[in-house]
Amino acid sequence: MQQRIVVLGSTGSIGQSTLDVIARHPDRYRVYALAALRQIDLLETQIDRFQPEVAVVVDPEAADLLKRRLADRGLCVDVQTGSDALVHLVQRPDVDTVMAAIVGAAGLPSALAAAEAGKRLLLANKEALVMAGPVFMNAVRQSGAVLLPIDSEHNAIFQSLPAAYSGNPQATGISHIVLTASGGPFRGYSRDQLATVTPAQAVSHPKWSMGKKISVDSASLMNKGLEVIEAHFLFGLPAEQIKVVVHPQSTIHSLVQYVDGSVLAELGEPDMRTPIAHALAWPERIASGVALLDLVACGQFDFAEPDLDAFPCLALAFEALKRGGSAPAVLNAANEIAVAAFLDNKIAFLDIPEVIRETLAAIPDTPLSGLDAVLAVDQRARLDAQSRVESRA
């Protein structure tokens, strides 16, 4: 029986990779719905190929244009619009699996709705856990949802954990988990060198093909900081048991260290189709389209400590995790505002951590009781961060 899959963020890099894997296994997977913000040219091409029953376009004008295009061609697809349509879509009883690949805070409501509905949830939106970790994981536990991580690092940790792992590292002899970081395009740069880097340089990642926002996060090491927080909620580990090392080859995707001295790691080519295929088929294995790793061709593996002086965003993420409560949500909101401003050439690269630091200091920590509380603190942090961006601009 085919899995009926919703791909949220189908026109992004993760969404496109997901559809590539699905297309290789038409007997196993059926695309029930596709969702995008406003990139309807690519979405129309995806609709042609995968023939979903539903397409959601968040932007109303883009949705109307897509409706007219499909009607002119006689294609019967239920085109819906608005953020609420995403939430209703993932709650449908005829949906089995949800790929949550909408970037940033915008992806939280639909990902949380899928968790609450008890779906098989492939989570590529790390901000959902960063912003609302306690709320999100409580929804997973209560609904019985199957939560499978898509980030290459967390998927690697998932594969390297004991099969019976249930969130208790002491019971399974885990000492630490180690998240690997490529170092991004500015690996080895000093603070002086970082003072003049441009958005074009920041989005030129040496290993991974990603969107602009996540590329800047990788360049600042904030992406790794967000992954530290995500790992805390996924695997039940305190900050003290989560390490980060720079591994420029991006071949070892992450590791688990055990108290007996063993270290288990997941290796592979830097291609997101591997974790996507793993999560789609888990606990089975399917072909992803990724070439098998040639260890001889790899040559060598290098590791280094991250430079927290040049890249303070990683330290800020650890601080927010240790503070708990609303602090990670504030961190994420301030980062999204600061990164957008940097991409618009309104602030410098080194202003990004300063905007985040000041916003974290200005907004007191509060407990998160539900989605409304999360969204309220997110909005407050965005307004605060925006005012700091404007004072610099």
- Binding-site residues sit at 11-14, 38, 125-127, 151-153, 182, 205, 211, 218, 223-224, 227
Q: What is the DSSP letter of 168?
A: -
Strand-pairing partners, residue 312, are none
277 with 268: CB under 8 angstroms?
no
Which H or E element spans position 254? Answer: strand 252-258
Give the side-chain half-sphere CA count within 13 A for 356.
Answer: 32
Token pair for 102? 């909408």
> Would you list which residues are annotated within the binding site for Mn(2+)?
151, 153, 227
Phi and psi for 281 in degrees, rounded to 5? -100, -15
For 169, the 3-state DSSP assignment is coil
Which H or E element spans position 385? Answer: helix 371-392
- As a whole number of angstroms, the distance between CA 362 and CA 354 comes to 12
List the one residue out of 313, 240, 262, 280 whose CA is nearest residue 97: 280
Cβ density class 146-170: b for 16+ within 10 Å, e for less: ebbbbbbbbbbbbbbbeeebeeebe
Give the side-chain half-sphere CA count within 13 A for 221.
Answer: 31
> Would you list which residues are annotated within the binding site for 1-deoxy-D-xylulose 5-phosphate?
126, 152-153, 182, 205, 218, 223-224, 227
Contacts of 187 (CB under 8 A, 6+ apart): 246, 248
> Would you list which residues are annotated within the binding site for NADPH?
11-14, 38, 125, 127, 211
- Write out the DSSP string of 264-305: EEEE--S-THHHHHHHHHTTS----SPPPP-HHHH-----B-
